[in-house]
Amino acid sequence: MANKLLENKIAVVTGGATGIGREIVRELAESGAQVILADRNAPLGESEAKQFQTNKLDVTFMRLDISKIDEVKDFFHNINKKHSRLDILINNAGIKINAGKVTETSEFEWNLTLGTNLTGTFLCCKYGIPLMEKNGGSVINFSSGSGIKGSYNSVAYGVTKAGIIHLTKTVSLEFATKNIRINCIVPGLIDTQQSRGSTGSKELFEKWEKGIPMQRAGRPEEIAPMVAFLCSDQASYITGSLFEINGGSLAQ
């Protein structure tokens, strides 16, 4: 059992039903937080929340598609109604479509990716941060190595992840005096369903792993402890910062 760094904190984790998000839900709950697992996959989200509850963790499920403005508004309205505040917001949900080169990317693929990853993160900040204004809080956004350096086959994805870095820095300035800290995790290749799915083949995933200085993909449980730390009072002077977790990929 982890230390109770986050005792009595109210936390939301978007995209919490799978991969990195699910591991963050576990880490925050084991650190003492009451966690709302938010995901658009209701059957899976409900079943994961039940599994956590079986293990005596305080996790509840609420459906949320971050690309839909009305859902985001209703979601945070309901959080406010139930808890009267929010202490931690983890903007983890996102998609990656392999749309080819910029000349091959359709407007649909562009809009869908921006609408989910960038606008979705923006909407969660817009409607979630007001719930932190009374007591302070911590927001963690999720970028990617693709947001820092160019990557093939997914221009829209890289643009959203670069945008999330800028969103993090700007919003951190806006709330620096309000005890609301905004930071950003920049993961490299992490072994999740989503990254294996978007890589497109086992062979390519393994090839990518070999290109990492540590020669392996990361694991979700190698991301979650950093998130818990950043949400805790131990990180009280950290805001507007990026945290690369990538086995050395961006050191090359």
- Residues marked as catalytic: 157
Looking up tokens 């050191």, which residue turns up?
Answer: 251
Nearer to another protein, 97 or 182 (CB): 97
Stretch that binds another protein, among 77-85, 104-112, 118-126, 207-215 (CB under 8 A): 104-112
126 part of the interface to another protein, by CB under 8 A:
no
Q: Which of residues 8-47 bind another protein (CB under 8 A)?
A: 40-41
Nearer to another protein, 157 or 175 (CB): 157
Distance CA 108, CA 116 (A): 12
196 part of the interface to another protein, by CB under 8 A:
yes
Q: State whether residue 199 is helix, strand or coil.
A: helix
C-beta separation of 245 from 189 below 8 A: no
- Nearest distance from C-beta of residue 70 to another protein, angstroms: 13
Q: Which of residues 84-103 bind another protein (CB under 8 A)?
A: 95-98
- Nearest distance from C-beta of residue 131 to another protein, angstroms: 26
Nearer to another protein, 39 or 87 (CB): 39
C-beta separation of 248 from 217 below 8 A: no
Q: Phi and psi of 181, rounded to 5°?
A: -100, 135
112 part of the interface to another protein, by CB under 8 A:
yes
- Nearest distance from C-beta of residue 6 to another protein, angstroms: 30
Nearer to another protein, 108 or 152 (CB): 108
CA 95 to chain centre: 11
CA angle 35, 123, 246 (to 5 degrees): 65
197 part of the interface to another protein, by CB under 8 A:
yes
201 part of the interface to another protein, by CB under 8 A:
yes
C-beta separation of 94 from 120 below 8 A: yes
Residue partners of 244: CB distance under 8 A and separation at least 6: 145, 186, 188, 250
Distance CA 71, CA 62 (A): 11
- Nearest distance from C-beta of residue 87 to another protein, angstroms: 28
User: What tokens does 159 get?
Assistant: 């643009």
For another protein, the binding residues (CB under 8 A) are 40-41, 65, 95-98, 106-109, 112-113, 193-194, 196-202
